[in-house]
Amino acid sequence: MSLPFPASPYLSGNFAPILMECDAHDLPVTGVLPRALHGTLYRNGPNPQFAPRDPYYHWFIGDGMVHAFHIEDGRVRYRNRWVRTNKFKRERAAGRALFGSWGNPATTDASVAGEENGVANTNIVWHAGRLLALEEADLPVELDAGNLSTRGDCTFGGKLSGAMTAHPKTDPVTGEMVFFAYAADGRFTPGIRYGVVNGEGRLTRLEHFEAPFSSMIHDFMVTSRHVLFPVLPLTGSMARATRGEPAYSWEPQLGAHIGIMPHHGDAAQIRWFRGEACYVFHVMNAWEDGSRILADVMQYDAPPLFNPNASGPGSRARLCRWTFDLDAGTDTFQRTWLDDMPGEFPRIDDRFATLPYRHGYFASRQQEEALPGSYDTLVHLDLGTGRRSVHALPQGDAISEPVFVPRTPDGPEGDGWLLATVFRGNEQRSDLVVYEAGDISRGPIAAAHLSHRVPFGFHGNWRPAQ
């Protein structure tokens, strides 16, 4: 018999899981959906099917559930499915949780000791004809793009045997998907793996190197010629986990270390740059300007989700530009704040990933009392003019990461729409909303209405109609 979920901030409200899979063939729509908007928005996030075994539950460890909104001819079709990982199938058969948080052996049932415990709950990407559900500690899981059934782990023809990041970058010029993995030699180890999958879906490169220490490296930066690995002092420790303490802890005395490797070089060519402690979950974009590399990131002074002492402005991310001059003869880098509005989940027009860009979008939180992961404002920054546009949601509502969809494949940067899910707090359900990307302050131009909630999740992406 399944047990009730315990009282926990990240198991309550719209963080609480929904316990069903369903299909809706024609959602009610208000406003007018553009006829040119034809494809599917996929979103992924944690949705535990059973109450956790550990007293310390973290939002990042719930079973992955994918939500798909297919848009065609002004109509919207919806489907949601859990990703059938090994963990999900073993626990579904047992009728209860079996695996401990972060693979903690002290709280894992002996019947599944040493088994794969990935949750595939963080991102979902479309590349070279594959739909991949991702999280950063395990293999990608391939799904059927239509019915969301799980096809199984993706090893790229047996060439990948370990984890792959939840934040691969696709080069818009070459079509290559560039990825990395931290803790590449086992949980909480300092090893890092770097890889490239070409535009046809073949794994063509794998590199391995050691970071200065074991760090949670959620995202990284890719330009047309370089790859940047931010090793920041949010450290992992199996010893802490087995003592019943949080596996990840903030150790600012270790400082920030940024490894820069030529895109087509090897680990022996990595240069390490150093700076004061900070943390970054997500990168907006990175590009080259002569000998300089510029990277726009959402920077925290200290990470709120893993640091109980984090409070005040420094515990909320703001957009910051990191500048590295490869010819300056120094191992330091410059930081410049670009905007003072707090936010997370930065996105761009992905046709300009790795290249100079102008338009950026992110979710912001104006309510101080809201938990990290809950956002009530959509923000557009025009970095060419410095102009900021916002759309604040009604009290009690919350918006997801915005996803940009171009109006035409070869249109100018920023000409298109932003798609997001919005939790309607007063109605306890969710909508899919569509904004004109260049005019978000007017609010959504259309909304498709669900009769249930889409729990707060992480990332999504658009797959245009084939």
How far apart are alpha carbons 208 and 184 in whole angstroms?
8
Single out the residue of 45, 47, 29 nearest to residue 37, CA to CA.
Answer: 29
Q: How far is CA 122 from CA 301, 308, 366, in A?
A: 23, 23, 24
How far apart are alpha carbons 392 and 343 in whole angstroms?
13
Return the structure tokens found at 277. Answer: 């402690």
Is 167 annotated to bind ligand? Answer: yes
Contact, 298 vs 282, CB < 8 A?
A: yes
Long-range contacts of 177-184 (CB under 8 A, 24+ apart): 177/125, 177/127, 177/128, 178/222, 178/227, 178/263, 180/217, 180/220, 180/227, 180/229, 181/136, 182/136, 182/211, 182/214, 182/215, 182/216, 182/217, 183/137, 183/214, 183/236, 184/208
Is 449 annotated to bind ligand? Answer: no
CB burial string 383-393: b at 16+ within 10 A, e below: beeeeebebeb
Single out the residue of 255, 233, 138 nearest to residue 186, CA to CA.
Answer: 138
Q: What is the residue whose two structure tokens read 């989700």?
A: 305
Element (H, E) at 375: none
Q: Residue ranges for the binding site?
A: 167, 218, 282, 459
Q: Residue ranges for the binding site for Fe cation?
A: 167, 218, 282, 459
